[in-house]
Structure 1
């Protein structure tokens, strides 16, 4: 009923005539048109229940009593920025010596009535596999995770390789000083070179650990004069690997990294749209598995196991298997709504980091240009050995100086006469 403490008892009578149907329902025969003269003055009145609630609230606030804990926390927001949870100023982290934990999102734990930042230590969580339908935040997950890594570690401590086989979701990260190189599915030669580099890196690190009698890279780096940097291999849209010409070699290298990389300080962060896009044997080497919204809901159980948690149709909402399955919202790097402003902010932070950092940077994959000029060759020459060298050009694999000396016999074999002629000219 409406709450009208000042109202005067009305003498109005309802003159509507009703017919009673066979089923007992009333049906109006005429219309009660009384009161139309005052229809313009009508206003919505609070109910008596609203009035009681407001009065109780007023009395409670006037007594300054502590608020009783609510039985349930509110649902997670659909958009949570990293700056709402933690300090995002990289200068506050780069000078610290402690080992950081990296932010993935904001988790909801109903059984504990808690909502907390979801952070991970890669030494504990190992490789991360994210499965989700297109448009539900997989690229955003990688962007946020890597930007947090770059905010909390220097380019000397973390090197990042970006394999972008999706819709160019990682290209905005290229300018950060931590990024060694960026690859797409069309960069066949460049990808193959990177795979050979990563396989060589695995062998070098295994040999170093064996010589130092260390069980893992964290233990080795504590005592090493020159510690190894952590390598983060980000693969966005693993689905695109199957159609690439380097598919077999890529799967072989990823299998090696997934099996041995975590103990060597090499971590995979991989996303895919379909559960069967990656071999089950390879998936078994990913210690941490995350599922975002999937059109095929039956795959959720295959990824994180049986759970009572419901995966909502919300961009960035996911489930992560820890001791239990927790629901969380993927964070975005900045508190901005539109995509263009977000990209501009990413570029601005990358530029600020690059100007601030004066130390060594990770080396990109060397690629031989289509045209090699004498100036390019001269720039690579070791001046201490220049006097006895005849320069030919640059090698294809490492883009280093190709040269020979005249103190040994030379044999030139070619099926192209023009190549031989060009050699003599050089």
Structure 2
């Protein structure tokens, strides 16, 4: 058996204040910042979120039974409905608009449980990406209506931002609205739009008068067409084509610096959500692997007693503790600043750690690890899909460095 060592990792909050975190819990519920003495301990509410979601998914969700379903099917399932009734779909959205207002730490806790239980849903696309962008946008009737719809689980909204040749960069906006006598019109294409199959509306990035803008178009808006496909992990995706789409002034949610800030906040929260889900997936895969090694025997000896396997498992445990420290440190940063760059550092580490831990979990199971029935490989599919949706380690590392430059200039 492996005991949990104390693992220390170093991260940077700003160019001026290096912060050291000490992880002392295998569940990541107690992190101590050695520089300030601050303890990152889950509050009673946050722990309740974790326990409630875990019990709900264990009861209502079976990844082996539902593996053929895409993420878009989740909105018709019991888990989505009960999460809405519990107010957890709006866990990080403001209370003034029907959300729970529990902030980024609770969001991370929720996404970690999703990763652990292999639940696929439009939560990341709708509540995190689109929801955060709306929350950070200026107040308006359309914005306020959709925030409440998302928080109460009565609608699904998704962000349509990626364009051809933009890579992972959601901020590279080439789609430009052309002026007309009654407003603007849009012609262009958005790629890799998450969960468009179940979306009631799209939050589209474009340029109006050369400035970035966020516009909201409902799914039946004239000129919108979605070509649907499914990613290898079951995520529902689409290519969204806009053909002579009329854009009234009421559809403009934010423009200029307001749109830029809203999009940056949405991407930071999405990075935290993806890193948290990766952490949860790694924890699930690692725990199942340890259970297998403790029970499986070879030549009359339990695999857990083999020194080589113990060393491999210890290395994975160290990787997980480092990732856990960065994830909860990043969540704390987003509680204070909705555009805090530590979330990108967390995702930059989550990409290689997620890939390594999940691959090792398959290998340590031996041949049975490759079977669809066991399902250990689904963890690897999900973490790799997240890295393709929100960027690899290099991309997120550069985003983190950019955030440090922005903080330095401020």
Bigger helix share: 2
Answer whether TM exceeds 0.5 for this pair. no
TM range (shorter): under 0.3
The structure with the larger Rg is 1
TM-score between both structures, scaled by the size of structure 1? 0.22
TM-score between both structures, scaled by the size of structure 2? 0.23
